[in-house]
Amino acid sequence: MSKSSNKRCSRCVLPDTFPGISFNEHGLCNFCADTPAAPDLEKRRLQLKGELEQVIFDHKGKTYYDCIVAFSGGKDSSYTLTHLVQTYGLNCLAVTIDNDFMAEQARLNCKTVTQALGVDHLIYTPAARFMNQMYVSSVTQKNVHSKAAIRRASGICNSCINLINTYMIKTALQNATFLIVGGYIGGQVPKDSAIMVINLQRKKQMDQIALKRYAAHFGEEAYRYFDLDDRLYAQGDAITVINPMLTMNVSEEEIITHIKTLGWQAPRNTGKNSSNCLLNDLGIAIHQKQHGFHPYIFEISEQVRQGTMARATALEKVENARGFATLSWQVEKIGLDLAEIESSNGQ
């Protein structure tokens, strides 16, 4: 079992249980020590913003939809969609994957925001049986996800994210739209994820390896959710994925204040770290038990370094997470045997 945390970075909130962490004599972690000075960060941010805007302008008006937007109804994706429409005048197709654990307020927010912006909205609901089995396998079997992925999200979230990414590419190709937009913030994805060009033929080859792994863990039905029809690859040579929020320096309070003008309201039952998913807290509880650190700690620490979140707020978000006793309905719904969690420590 992973050790419990006794020490945190003196600047951000990363604990001594986080993979690859070390501290200097002042208690500063290596991630903070390696962070460039504020002027250099701002210079790089502005450069990335210019590059990202060029990508947007290159795609605007080329196809019926300028872009396909991964839209959960949460605060970050709502802000991203709003930014694309209000700042750049893009004709977006918002795509929501309903994993059967969306808060009712999140569903309302999806409808409210897309209607306020005049955006077309597609909702996809995968079969609950497969999703639940996928979630259970993600936290009871070893090596489902890479060590790098586990640093950034829980096993449950990683599987869901991969399924969503596949469906986003599928939807983009079906609509002959070659720009996909995500709502990821700093720390959720690597720093070089503001602009990513995906070579479709190379992706097809690499996906075969991942597909075999998913099928081994999730069953043969995984091909239905993680594979793409060969005919879709023929639609084009590449797809570009952008994450505009990686080029912004905006706080959570500013995000929420802005999207509230569209009628967005924060759900009251999704915990401290999600604004759309009722399963998120279970993923957090399992991740902490198995790995000894909060799965949101890396992105939260990044926000502290960027100056968009106070350290006290960050500590509140990662301390006193909900325990299994308060998550019994989620455990029962996905069919999880908590005893199996014990045997997967250290995966």
The DSSP code sequence of 156-185 is HHHHHHHHHHHHHHHHHHHTT--EEE----
What's the average model confidence in pLDDT over 112-139? Answer: 98
Question: What local confidence, expressed as pLDDT, does residue 192 receive?
Answer: 64
Q: What is the mean pLDDT of the chain?
A: 92
Question: What local confidence, expressed as pLDDT, does residue 147 receive?
Answer: 87
What are 67-97's pLDDT values in tens digits? 999 999 999 999 999 999 999 999 999 999 9
Tell me the one-letter amino acid at 221.
Answer: E
Question: What local confidence, expressed as pLDDT, does residue 267 receive?
Answer: 97
With pLDDT > 70 as the criterion, what percentage of the chain qualifies?
95
Which domains, and CATH codes, for the chain? 37-342 (3.40.50.620)
What are 279-293's pLDDT values in tens digits? 999 999 999 999 999
Instruction: Check: CB of residue 167 under 8 Å from CB of residue 72.
Output: no
What's the average model confidence in pLDDT over 146-163? Answer: 93
What's the average model confidence in pLDDT over 55-66? Answer: 97
Pairing type for strands 195-199 and 238-242 reads: antiparallel
Residue 171: count of CB within 10 angstroms of its CB? 19
Lowest-pLDDT range, 111-125, 158-172, 183-197? 183-197
Instruction: Name 23's bridge partners.
Output: 29
Question: What local confidence, expressed as pLDDT, does residue 193 receive?
Answer: 72
The crossing angle, in degrees rounded to 10, of helices 128-140 and 280-291 is 20
The whole-model pTM stands at 0.93
Instruction: Check: CB of residue 72 under 8 Å from CB of residue 276.
Output: yes
At residue 186, does pLDDT exceed 90?
no
Kindly indicate the confidence band of residue 259, based on its pLDDT and cuts at 50, 70 and 90: very high
Q: Hunting for tokens 């500063």 — which residue is that?
A: 28
Kindly indicate the confidence band of residue 347, based on its pLDDT and cuts at 50, 70 and 90: very low
Question: What local confidence, expressed as pLDDT, does residue 205 receive?
Answer: 86
Question: What local confidence, expressed as pLDDT, does residue 189 receive?
Answer: 56
What are 275-333's pLDDT values in tens digits? 999 999 999 999 999 999 999 999 999 999 988 899 999 999 998 889 999 999 999 99
**288: three-class secondary structure by DSSP:** helix
- Kindly tell me the burial class for residue 325, based on how many C-beta atoms sit within 10 Å of its own C-beta (0-12, 13-18, 19 or more): exposed
Which residue, 291, 288, 290, is CA-closest to 319? Answer: 288
